[in-house]
């Protein structure tokens, strides 16, 4: 679930105590109509609720707990690349899909170069048009360095990525070189796999299509 910058600012203010529309408006300096639109959307998403008179808005307790847990993790987390990612899955059998989801969640948690802040599995649904089962994992995590980011992108194949921090990324020459080496090694393994599994004719067609796309 992605939040706008205004919604994030509202959530931070509501983390400690409920606030009225006027209090939020003064402290955030957001145009009143924009503020009301964001609050309405947050109510719809069940992120906040209303209470008392005059009406005050408060974060749901589960959200407060999640934010506090993430804050606690961040206090000892030295990794500088923070992401929120969606990893989608499909399978012809529901049980097989469930196993894949569980296996990927466990694998992510065991990665020494990742720090997991939050990881959730979405409900498994059956797609009527394809007769397949689909779901996704949403993971909020930090990643140690550039080469670890490359490995995350290739081996876990996220379909959506939101960069949470930093606002500006700088890599040393060594770190960038290390990442390029990891990427090159992945491509070499992939090429070796293709040459082992595909016939000469199949490889020819594959390279022909690949070069046409480049042109």
**Per-residue model confidence as pLDDT tens digits over 161-212:** 999 888 888 888 888 898 888 888 887 877 777 677 667 676 666 556 655 5
Q: Whole-angstrom Cα distance, residue 29 to residue 213?
A: 48
Sign of the alpha-carbon dihedral angle for 104, 3, 50, 123: negative
Q: Which residues neighbour 45 within 8 Å (Cβ) at sequence distance 6 or greater?
A: 1
Q: Which two tokens stand for residue 162?
A: 């939101």
Over residues 122-133, mean pLDDT: 88
Over residues 46-66, mean pLDDT: 90
| Annotated domain spans of the chain | 5-64, 78-169, 178-214
What is the number of other CB atoms lying within 10 angstroms of the CB of residue 8?
Answer: 10
- The top-level CATH class assigned to 5-64 is mainly alpha
Average pLDDT, the chain: 87
In DSSP notation, 86-101 reads EEEEEESSHHHHHHHH
CATH architecture of the domain covering 78-169? 2-Layer Sandwich (3.30)
Reported as a pLDDT band with limits 50, 70 and 90, residue 97 is: very high
Q: Which long-range contacts (CB under 8 A, 24 or more apart) does 98-103 make?
A: 98/124, 101/135, 101/137
Q: Whole-angstrom Cα distance, residue 100 to residue 133?
A: 12
* Residue 1 confidence (pLDDT): 58
Q: Which residues neighbour 36 within 8 Å (Cβ) at sequence distance 6 or greater?
A: 21
3-state secondary structure of 112: coil
* pLDDT of 214 strictly over 50: no
Reported as a pLDDT band with limits 50, 70 and 90, residue 99 is: very high
Q: Scan for tokens 């995350």, then name that residue.
A: 152
Q: Are 194 and 206 in contact (CB under 8 A)?
A: yes
């Amino acid at each position: 679930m992605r939040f706008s910058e205004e919604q994030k600012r509202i959530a931070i203010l509501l983390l400690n105590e409920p606030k009225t529309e006027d209090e939020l408006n003064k402290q955030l300096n957001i145009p009143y109509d924009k503020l009301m639109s964001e609050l309405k959307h947050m109510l719809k998403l069940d992120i906040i609720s209303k209470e008392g008179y005059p009406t005050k808005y408060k974060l749901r307790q589960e959200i407060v707990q999640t934010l506090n847990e993430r804050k606690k993790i961040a206090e000892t987390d030295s990794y500088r690349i923070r992401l929120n990612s969606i990893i989608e899955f499909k399978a012809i059998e529901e049980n097989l899909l469930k196993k894949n989801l569980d296996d990927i969640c466990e694998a992510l948690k065991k990665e020494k170069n990742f720090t997991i802040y939050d990881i959730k599995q979405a409900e498994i649904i059956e797609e009527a048009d394809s007769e397949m089962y689909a779901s996704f994992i949403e993971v909020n995590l930090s990643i140690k360095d550039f080469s670890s980011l490359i490995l995350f992108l290739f081996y876990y194949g996220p379909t959506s990525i939101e960069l949470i921090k930093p606002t500006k990324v700088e890599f040393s020459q060594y770190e960038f070189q290390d990442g390029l080496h990891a990427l090159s090694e992945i491509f070499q393994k992939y090429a070796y796999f293709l040459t082992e599994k595909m016939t000469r004719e199949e490889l020819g067609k594959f390279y022909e299509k690949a070069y046409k796309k480049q042109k």
